Amino acid sequence: MVGLISEIREIVGDAGLLVGDEVTGRAENWMGLGSISAQAIVRPSSTDQLSRVMAACFQADQPVVPMGGLTGLVQGTQTTGNEVVVSLERMREIETLDGTGATMTVQAGAALQSVQERAEQAGLCFPLDLGARGSANIGGLISTNAGGNQVIRYGMMREQVLGLEAVLADGTIISSMNRMLKNNAGYDLKQLFIGSEGTLGIVTRAVLRLRPALSSDNTVLVALNNFENIPKLLRLFGSALGGTLNAFEVMWQNYYQLILNGNPAHKAPMPDNFGYYILIEAAGGNKQADLDRFMQTLETALEQELIEDAVLANSGEQRDALWAIRDDIMTLVLTMLPIAAFDVSLPIGDMETYIEQVEQKMSEKWGDKAKLAVFGHLGDSNIHLAIGTGVENELDHGDAEHVVYDPLRPIGGSVSAEHGIGLEKKAWLSSSRSPAEVNLMKTLKQALDPKNILNPGKVLD
């Protein structure tokens, strides 16, 4: 190991290598908790450096774990102490922005927010957005195929990536930096690295697809009691707004109450006695016409008695305040600790019954001790469930997994809508993928990483 570390130091220099306290002094997740346990953190400043580092690690059978902004939620960056961590924190450059082709070429260590801001400066937009935007990196977002708040309109990370560059386990650089929307010349190799959670290669650069900037946005929080009205409302806003619907985020009453009750960080926009709260947002290119259409649609929803209350955001500040309720994951976690959090997808028509089944199972397991909070990107068939007791040692994660995943299987839902598998969901992969699919995943892993040194043990055994 000492020999390998010296070899890596030769390649990346002193500034590119952290060892000892500089490693353990770093938190292992976005909440600042824990401590990274690894032989070293390698911080290459170029793809070429990383390629040489990987070649050395391959030669030495050295396990390597790629880390981005550490905001992943499935223990995809967990280490045991034996690994070398690769961080692209010295590769954060936005290299070029092509306004004509609407593309941006970036190094994979760039934070999502910096990419969004750069696109905005050029009168364009990078539409993928999520609460962890300040920390999550392009490399992490690609490797988890992240979703977020605007998938209903723009798709997941996969749809935002035109090309990428990755370093394989043996140091080979695969440069697939395509800049066109269409390119069917053989296999689309970038797809191998999107959503494979650092197990097939380390993403070093990417060509991102940008969209036109939109000049209007309209946001409303609506409340209702009848779940059956939610899909009707989604259909109404989808069709009446002519494809300009950006977000359709639902919060169950249990989430809304948990975030707002006695929390000085928020001012309740409406009473907490409704069954469901939905944050609806649309964006377009004509302020007045978009507002008129949005208001008309809202009126139709009221006339058809699909909703019972509504609070419109009249300023950017009010919009941010509404989103802050939806995005307040920190309050959720701190209030419910110890917490088991889940990210599942299932057809919208099955959601109400599914949640009732989960509640039933919770009450059989924990009586009234455990609390449930449900929220998420319902427009994308994706909900998040948080189960917590607030009391140390009263929640077994394995029990919570059965409570959430057992009723999901007969519906054909997925144990991971957008967070990936990592370590946390590995045991449940076969719930959502057939044996043939899992075998093909293993064949790909074997072909690209024959010595199993890249993020070993994540996603697959």
Ligand X SMILES: Cc1cc2nc3c(=O)[nH]c(=O)nc-3n(C[C@H](O)[C@H](O)[C@H](O)COP(=O)(O)OP(=O)(O)OC[C@H]3O[C@@H](n4cnc5c(N)ncnc54)[C@H](O)[C@@H]3O)c2cc1C
User: Where do contacts with ligand X occur on this chain (CB under 6 A)?
Assistant: 30, 65-73, 76-77, 88, 108, 130-132, 135-137, 139-141, 143-144, 146-148, 197-198, 202-203, 329, 418-419, 422, 455, 458
- For the CB of residue 361, give the shortest distance to ligand X in the complex, in Å: 26
Residue whose CB is less far from ligand X, 199 or 244: 199
Residue whose CB is less far from ligand X, 153 or 419: 419
Residue whose CB is less far from ligand X, 180 or 334: 334
- For the CB of residue 129, give the shortest distance to ligand X in the complex, in Å: 8
Cβ atoms of 88 and 109 closer than 8 Å: yes
Using CB positions, name the residue nearest to ligand X: 140
Residue 32 token pair: 């600042």
Q: Phi and psi for 385 in degrees, rounded to 5?
A: -120, 135
Q: Which residue's structure tokens are 């076969």?
A: 430
Contacts (Cβ under 8 Å, ≥6 apart) of 353:
none
Residue whose CB is less far from ligand X, 147 or 407: 147
Residue whose CB is less far from ligand X, 274 or 375: 375
- For the CB of residue 242, give the shortest distance to ligand X in the complex, in Å: 25
Query: Which pairs from 112-120 meet CB under 8 Å and 24+ separation?
Result: 112/136, 112/137, 112/138, 112/141, 115/208, 118/94, 119/210, 119/213, 120/213
- For the CB of residue 314, give the shortest distance to ligand X in the complex, in Å: 26
Looking from the CA of 341 toward its CB, the CA atoms found within 13 Å total: 21
The secondary structure element, H or E, covering residue 224 is: strand 216-224
Type of residue numbered 371: K
Residue whose CB is less far from ligand X, 290 or 449: 449
- For the CB of residue 202, give the shortest distance to ligand X in the complex, in Å: 4
Rounded Cα distance between 370 and 395, Å, is 8
- For the CB of residue 33, give the shortest distance to ligand X in the complex, in Å: 12
Smallest CA-to-CA distance from 401 within 412, 385, 390 is with 385
